[in-house]
Amino acid sequence: MTRVITIDGPSGSGKGTIAAGLAERLGWRCLDSGALYRLSGLAAARAGIGLEQPTELAQIAGNMQVEFRDGRVFLDGEDVSLDIRSETAGNAASRVAAVPEVRAALLEWQRAFARAPGLVADGRDMGSVVFPDAGVKIFLTASPEERAQRRYNQLKEKGLDANLACLVEKIRERDERDSNRSVAPLKAPEGALKVESTELSIDEVLEQVLKKVRDAYPDLFR
Ligand code: DC
């Protein structure tokens, strides 16, 4: 069985950075499941399909031609790496992610990312729904203000437009929607190590996570 480590948490909690760092350290694959929801939101908007058409939304999500190559993301052959990182794309993702048919359409696709020697998967329901048997589960949080500040810095670095007060509000809105939806809501899976990262650096979070991974898979560190 392929080993899986899940890292779940709210928007901007740093799970993407930690997941990528961990995957690199272990030489494992990495699944950014949020990207699949962002791509679904973008593909649906481009096709003019709205939330009131769940069957069509699921068809679009399940049939997108997606390629992850050299750190970039391609949708139907077009490089959409920047487009899917905007706040608008994040909010569109959060909306389509609340549609049960869309989640079902992406489920097996996400599971197929698990291949030897192992997978680090980040998202909202990686440990609870997609990989319930994962050997290590992490739940990463940080205050909404800190997460908004991190997102602000990220967007600025990418040369995208950002407003801090607006980001705090959007983050609270997205938390609310992601935590209260009926299917696979954001919550710490049973047995997860909870890491509150507001006051921690990336290296400090990674250290706590690695300790947990070392306990679960000592052979990886011999
Ligand atoms: O992690 P992210 O910000 O890129 O995710 C964008 C949205 O996608 C998020 O607001 C909720 C949704 N999502 C989800 O519902 N389940 C996941 N496993 C990952 C993301």
The architecture CATH gives domain 4-210: 3-Layer(aba) Sandwich (3.40)
CA of 113 to the centre of ligand 1 (A): 17
Give the chain's mean pLDDT: 95
CA of 90 to the centre of ligand 1 (A): 8
State both tokens at 47.
Answer: 């096709």
User: What pLDDT digit, counting tens, does each position of 91-120 carry?
Assistant: 999 999 999 999 999 999 999 999 999 999
Which residue has the CA at smallest separation from atom 2 of ligand 1? Answer: 34
User: What pLDDT digit, counting tens, does each position of 154-164 carry?
Assistant: 889 988 888 99
Whether the per-residue pLDDT at 1 is higher than 90: the answer is: no
**Predicted local confidence at residue 154, as pLDDT:** 84
Please tell me if the CB atom of residue 94 comes closer than 6 angstroms to any atom of ligand 1.
yes
**Predicted local confidence at residue 74, as pLDDT:** 97
User: What pLDDT digit, counting tens, does each position of 51-87 carry?
Assistant: 999 999 999 999 999 999 988 999 999 999 999 988 8
Q: Average pLDDT, stretch 173-189? A: 92
